[in-house]
Amino acid sequence: MSDPRDEDDDAALFRDAIGPVRKLPESPPPPMPARPRARARMAERDETAARDEFRLALDEHLAAAGDVLAWQDGLPDSVYRRLRRGEISAQEELDLHGSDARTAEALLRAFLSDAQRHGLGCVRIIHGKGGRGDADVGSSGAPILKNMVDRMLRQRASVLAFHSAPPAQGGTGAVVVLLAPPKRR
């Protein structure tokens, strides 16, 4: 066993060799990570609830395969009548046949944005009648793509009006859409 006095002597020798010591100033603590930005959680919940209620309300009025899609927002009757009759020609066309609902929704959003950005006034969207298989028709028996197109067009601020195409242009399996001119900056 070692003698405890030897250990004291070692500590005393060490302190003598080092000399006087002074205490270092305390360093500031490391910076805290930034606090997350405040979120309006109640507003997000309200918006989600409103969106769900809106979808449920739309699901109550689903269009059938042969139903005509029609909607206008403050457009003069003479212009809407011309659209309905097929007298306004479509400048571009989007065919959604064979697309699943999620892909079709993304394609439709991009198509409408691109059409408005390029100043197109009228476009045609072919959604089909939904009678080709189980993938085309929802559990309610209503055509999925047709109702998705109807719902999306009603929500877009750039859409002035739409109506199912005349029989020669696709009938109730397509819709002709009148777009607002692009906003000037």
Any domain includes 32? no
The CATH number of residue 77's host domain is 3.30.1370.110
pLDDT of residue 185: 47
Predicted local distance difference test score (pLDDT) of residue 69: 86
Q: Whole-prediction pTM value?
A: 0.64
CA distance 156 to 158: 5
What is the C-alpha separation between 81 and 23, in angstroms, rounded? 90
Please state the domain count of the chain.
1
Q: Compute the distance between CA of residue 121 and CA of residue 160 in angstroms, rounded to an integer.
A: 10
Pair 147, 66: CB distance under 8 Å: no
Crossing angle of helices 144-155 and 101-117, rounded to 10°: 40
For residue 75, being part of any structural domain is answered with yes
pLDDT by residue, tens only, the chain of 185 residues: 555 555 668 888 888 888 888 888 888 888 888 888 887 888 888 777 777 665 555 555 677 777 888 889 888 999 999 999 999 999 999 999 888 888 999 999 999 999 999 999 999 999 988 765 544 555 556 788 888 899 889 888 899 999 999 998 888 899 999 999 887 54
* Inside any domain, residue 11: no
Domain membership of residue 22 (yes or no) is: no
Is-contact 153 159, C-beta < 8 A?
yes
Give me the domain span that covers residue 173.
64-179
Residue 134 lies in a domain: yes
For residue 18, being part of any structural domain is answered with no
* Inside any domain, residue 124: yes
Residue 172 resides in a domain: yes
Three-class SS string for 102-168?
A: HHHHHHHHHHHHHHHHCCCCEEEEECCCCCCCCCCECCCCCEHHHHHHHHHHHHCCCEEEEEECCHH
> What span, in angstroms and rounded, lies between the C-alpha atoms of 157 and 12?
85
| pLDDT of amino acid 29 | 85
